[in-house]
């Protein structure tokens, strides 16, 4: 929350009466920490080729939009509402700009083909080590490409929702409207599918994903909790994402 609660309350009161550029800029400056936080969080899952400046520009659009549309009469903190808008703006922008480079997409295709070939040849579930050896890549290269592919697939999956009004990438604020029976079924199926996949991970992998995505801890903070190095937490995270991608793909093929 803002450092000076009284001054920010007064600033919002001024903005209600005078939505000038100067007051809007003051509000943006006050909530810039939300922009920085969400840019850092999302950047972790993206290739280094994606500029943080570009993410920051998208985030600022989300913050500005949040200020313009925030309804102070609702029982909702601005920080929460702005976070929803910021994350939605960043990920909507990524989806529209096709952020995954062509070279990375080509690697994804190679890895998918290698995985299918090795599974048929070895008659077992293949690992990132197997794929790396087959393609003459490092294990880290394989896992990084799989992670990027997984995030890209999430963007595509979120895009299936359709409709004219979208807050962006699953971060919509609940309102009084009920989901249709069809939407409820789809949501339940997707939740059950992800739940099934996560339960097949080992304890450390489940814990890292929970602390990172649910509790929103950084890799360094998770390392302190689990008494592991930051690099080890990063490795566990990559391996967990790789496994989830494999498991969810099989669940899709089997019609789970």
125: in domain: no
Q: What is the CATH number of the domain that holds 223?
A: 1.20.140.160
Q: Determine the structural domain holding residue 34 and report its residue range.
A: 5-97
128: in domain: no
b vs e for 40-62, b when ≥16 Cβ sit within 10 Å of the residue's Cβ? Answer: eebbeebbeebeeeebbebbbbb
- Which pLDDT score is estimated for 56? 93
68: in domain: yes
- Which pLDDT score is estimated for 100? 66
Of the three residues 97, 125, 140, the one that is the final residue of a domain is 97
190: in domain: yes
109: in domain: no
pLDDT averages per 10-residue partition of the chain, 256 residues: 61 86 90 91 74 90 92 81 88 73 76 85 82 89 73 53 38 41 44 72 87 77 83 82 78 55
Of the three residues 74, 97, 120, the one that is the final residue of a domain is 97
Of the three residues 97, 128, 144, the one that is the final residue of a domain is 97
- Which pLDDT score is estimated for 162? 40
């Amino acid at each position: 929350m803002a450092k000076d609660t009284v001054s920010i309350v007064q600033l919002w009161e001024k903005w209600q009466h005078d939505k000038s550029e100067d007051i809007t800029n003051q509000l943006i400056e006050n909530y810039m920490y939300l922009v920085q936080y969400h840019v850092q969080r999302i950047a972790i899952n993206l290739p280094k080729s994606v500029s943080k400046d570009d993410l920051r520009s998208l985030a600022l659009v989300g913050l500005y939009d949040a200020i313009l549309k925030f309804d102070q009469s609702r029982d909702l903190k601005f920080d929460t509402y702005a976070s929803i808008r910021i994350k939605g703006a960043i990920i909507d922008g990524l989806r529209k700009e096709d952020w995954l480079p062509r070279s990375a997409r080509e690697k994804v295709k190679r890895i998918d083909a290698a995985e299918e070939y090795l599974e048929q040849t070895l008659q077992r579930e293949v690992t990132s080590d197997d794929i790396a050896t087959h393609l003459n890549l490092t294990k880290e290269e394989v896992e990084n490409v799989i992670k990027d592919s997984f995030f890209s697939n999430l963007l595509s999956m979120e895009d299936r929702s359709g409709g004219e009004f979208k807050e962006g990438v699953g971060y919509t604020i609940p309102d009084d409207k009920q989901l249709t029976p069809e939407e409820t079924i789809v949501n339940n199926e997707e939740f059950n599918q992800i739940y099934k996949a996560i339960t097949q991970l080992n304890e450390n992998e489940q814990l890292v994903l929970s602390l990172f995505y649910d509790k929103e801890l950084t890799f360094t903070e998770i390392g302190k909790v689990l008494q592991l190095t930051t690099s080890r937490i990063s490795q566990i995270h990559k391996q967990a994402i790789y496994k989830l991608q494999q498991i969810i793909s099989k669940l899709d093929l089997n019609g789970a």
